[in-house]
Amino acid sequence: MAVTLVESSDIGLLTCIAEHRVLTSRQLAAIERRNVRALRRRLRYLDRNGLIRREPGPLRQARGRPELVVSLSLDGAGFLAERGVLDPRIDPARVVAPSRRLVAHELFVNETRVALTQLSHSMPELTIRFVSPMSPWAPRWTPGRSFLCERFRGPEGQRFELVPDGAISVTHTELAKTLLFFLEVDTGTEPLSSGSENRSDLWHKIVKYQAYLASRRYRRFETLWECSLKGFRLLIVTSTRSRCAAVCRLLREMRGTTLAMTTDCESLLRSGFGADVWVVGGQVDAARASVLGSKMPNRACI
């Protein structure tokens, strides 16, 4: 492929885009810590050379044109494979943009990843890792099955399959303590509870996580991250405050679901991942908490 990369950081940009599948220029600038204007110029160059695609995004904005979203092109995937960055055996569908129906969901997941990146910059004593089920560099059970795709039996022998939107570990270097979180982003398009026949609603997802905790299958992440785990938290990030309130009502109805912590995307990005913006167990009347806990020193608000 006759492409000249003027900057050595171009491969880093393409790799980041492949990892996240689809990003706004703002998200990419935050993750890569680059000037947004300069980055947009570089993205235009990569677009002209056929390595990426830039298209209007689905996110609603108050005024002006929708922000462009960037994704890797098939030629871009081949470019990374030629340079040994990407395994050539990997299906390009795992690194290019998903269907239009799923773009908004992927962008929403990446908003949380931006917040995690900002937390790692503000608190260097923390090591933060995020595993996406679609990442070409994530560990896998088999060539066609993500490490995050878990099949297990519940306490009463029920069969469950669980695929979170991401797994997060936060390790404090000095304390040698690791916290495990599973992420579910809620765009408001799926039902909260729709009866026993619909296994895709949020109620059933929470039941799966409760069974997963009871099964102790989450402890396989101890080998992945060389740590000791005593449990995990389910983080639910909603698209709006009203949706967050609805999810909290559901959690209260389920009772005993302190496993889940909920916030809305606006609060997360405004205050920071480690800030006191999380509602525990749907208890909106209680003080909001930090996912880092009260014993984690030097908690930061971004």
Strand 23-24 to 68-72 pairing = antiparallel
Q: Do 30 and 112 share a structural domain?
A: no
For residue 256, what are the domain limits? 104-280
Last residue of a domain, one of 97, 128, 145: 97
* Residue 140 in this model has a pLDDT that exceeds 90: no
Quote the crossing angle between the two packed helices 25-32 and 100-122, to the nearest 10°: 30
Helix axes 202-215, 241-254, angle to 10 degrees: 50
Q: Do residues 148 and 138 lie in contact, with contact meaning Cβ atoms separated by under 8 Å?
A: yes
CA distance 44 to 58: 20
174 and 44 co-located in one domain: no
| 31 and 141 assigned to the same domain | no
> Is the domain of 81 the same as that of 122?
no
Specify if 123 maps to a domain.
yes
* Pair (112, 258) in one structural domain: yes
Mean pLDDT of the chain: 88
Q: Which of residues 84 and 301 earns the better pLDDT score?
A: 84
Domain boundary among 68, 97, 126: 97
Residues 89 and 198 in one domain: no
Whether residue 286 is contained in a domain is answered as: no
Residue 256, class by beta-carbon neighbours within 10 Å (0-12 exposed, 13-18 middle, 19+ buried)? exposed
* Co-location of 177 and 260 in the same domain: yes
Q: Stretch 160-188: mean pLDDT, rounded?
A: 94
Task: Note whether residue 287 is domain-resident.
Answer: no
Phi, psi for 83 (deg, rounded to 5): -95, 10
- Positions of E strands within 187-295: 233-238, 260-264, 279-280
pLDDT band at 123 (very low <50, low <70, confident <90, very high): very high
Among 97, 114, 144, the domain boundary falls at 97
DSSP code at position 279: E
CA angle 261–267–268, rounded 5-degree value: 65
Instruction: Show the tokens assigned to 21.
Output: 């599948």
> Is residue 128 domain-shared with residue 168, that is, in the same domain?
yes
Q: CA quadruple 264, 250, 248, 153: dihedral positive or negative?
A: negative
Q: In what order do the strands lie in the sheet with 260-264?
A: 126-131, 166-172, 177-186, 233-238, 260-264, 279-280
Residue 201 in any domain: the answer is yes
| 181 within some domain | yes
Q: Tell me: do 122 and 254 sit in the same domain.
A: yes
Q: State pTM to two decimals.
A: 0.91
Please name which of 191, 176, 190 lies closest in space to residue 228, comparing C-alpha atoms. Answer: 176
In a domain, 274, yes or no: yes
> For the chain, how many structural domains are there in total?
2
What span, in angstroms and rounded, lies between the C-alpha atoms of 116 and 127? 10
User: Which region among 16-30, 77-91, 194-208, 239-253 has the lowest average model confidence (pLDDT)?
Assistant: 194-208
Residue 111: both structure tokens together: 């908003």
The CATH number given to whatever domain includes residue 186 is 3.40.580
The pLDDT, as a whole number, for residue 61 is 47
For residues 114 and 256, membership in a common domain is answered with yes
Task: Give the tens place of pLDDT for each residue, 60-117.
Answer: 544 455 688 999 999 999 999 998 999 988 888 889 988 888 899 999 999 999 999 9
pLDDT confidence band for 301 (50 / 70 / 90) = very low
C-beta separation of 105 from 112 below 8 A: no
pLDDT tens, residue by residue, 272-300: 999 999 999 999 999 999 999 864 444 44
State percent of the chain over pLDDT 90. 68
CATH of the domain at 73: 1.10.10.10
Find the mean pLDDT for residues 257-268: 93
- The residue with greater pLDDT, 205 or 156, is 205
Instruction: Tell me what pLDDT residue 60 has.
Output: 53
The better pLDDT of the pair 209, 92 is held by 209
Find all residues with CB under 8 Å of 226, minimum gap 6, and list them.
none
